[in-house]
Amino acid sequence: MKNFLKEIPEQVTRIVFLLIVFIAAFLFIRSNLVPEDFGKTGHYRFSAIDEIISVDIKYAGQDVCNECHDDIVVVKDSSYHHNVTCEVCHGAAAIHADDPVEFTPTAPRERNICPQCHEYLPSRPTGFPQIISASHNPLKPCITCHNPHDPVPPETPKECSACHKEISSTKSISHHALIPCTKCHSVPEKHRLDPREYLPTKPGSREFCGQCHSEDADSEPGIPRIDLETHETKYVCWQCHYPHLPEAK
């Protein structure tokens, strides 16, 4: 007998040992950890319902918030965020609804919550408003510019330079630096919001430049003058002088 045991290869004893541990664990779990009514009606347990009912409710739902924060609910429900419920941003707040003063929910004032939905991802539906947070007004919290309960994007910046960057930087180092854009272009207010639909005017004649540059013009002294009647009369001025960086060489 002793010899026989010695002859069993070591790996077999290990497997047998593991098997015994496994069976012992199985029997232990079955008799101690499986609920008593498990198996009585297949996999369904009647007592599961009571257990679920006894779990604390964590989310109150927006209807409950409406009881005290109806002003915010009204604003949010007619905003772009109408489908984003309060507790998505504020966290589970049932405990707050029960005792509003003792427990106040957190508000996501930092920059990190909003990009969870708005960071650019190729898999998001086209048209869903997305930003690249590394370059979209970095460092400032989103809520400095966007009301979280009514997130209309703020109106596009109204400076000409916001859209005509190159022209305005060119002009700023030119002889015309001090002439405002609107001296030469009359710009409809709506151009800034719907630029292609409402175009500004552009100077149309030599006389336009002549109001400052012709010899008899009633303009400030020091402005270089030309004789409008003789100075390169075949062309309009901007065929030779770029109006945003005029040079006379």
By the rule CB under 6 A, 101 interacts with ligand HEC? yes
Sort residue 114 into left (φ over 0), alpha (ψ -120 to 50) or beta: alpha
**Residue choice 3, 34, 163, 221 for contact with ligand HEC (CB under 6 A):** 163
CB 87 within 8 A of CB 93: yes
Closer residue to ligand HEC in complex, CB, 42/222: 222
**Interacting residue with ligand HEC among 19, 25, 34, 107 (CB under 6 A):** 107
Stretch that binds ligand HEC, among 7-15, 17-25, 40-48, 204-212 (CB under 6 A): 204-212
Is 200 one of the binding residues for ligand HEC (CB under 6 A)? yes
Least Å distance, CB 122 to ligand HEC, is 15
Instruction: Report whether 224 contacts 213 (CB < 8 A).
Output: yes
Q: Judged by CB, which is closer to ligand HEC: 13, or 104? A: 104
Distance of closest approach, residue 53 Cβ to ligand HEC, in angstroms:
20
Q: Does 104 bind ligand HEC (CB under 6 A)?
A: yes
207-226 burial, b if ≥16 CB within 10 A, otherwise e? ebbbebbbeebeeeeeeebb
124 contributes a contact to ligand HEC by CB under 6 A:
no
Q: Select the residue interacting with ligand HEC from 156, 190, 198, 227 (CB under 6 A).
A: 156
Within a 10 A sphere around the Cβ of 69, how many other Cβ atoms? Answer: 17
Site for ligand HEC in 23-42 (CB under 6 A): none
247 binds ligand HEC (CB under 6 A): yes
* Binding status of residue 245 toward ligand HEC by CB under 6 A: no
166, with CB counted inside 10 A (0-12, 13-18, 19+), is exposed
- Piece of the chain touching ligand HEC by CB under 6 A; list 21-29, 37-45, 46-54, 136-144: 136-144
Cβ-based nearer residue to ligand HEC, 22 or 80: 80
Residues near ligand HEC (CB under 6 A), total: 106
Which listed range, 7-15, 29-37, 40-48, 157-165, lies at the site for ligand HEC (CB under 6 A)?
157-165
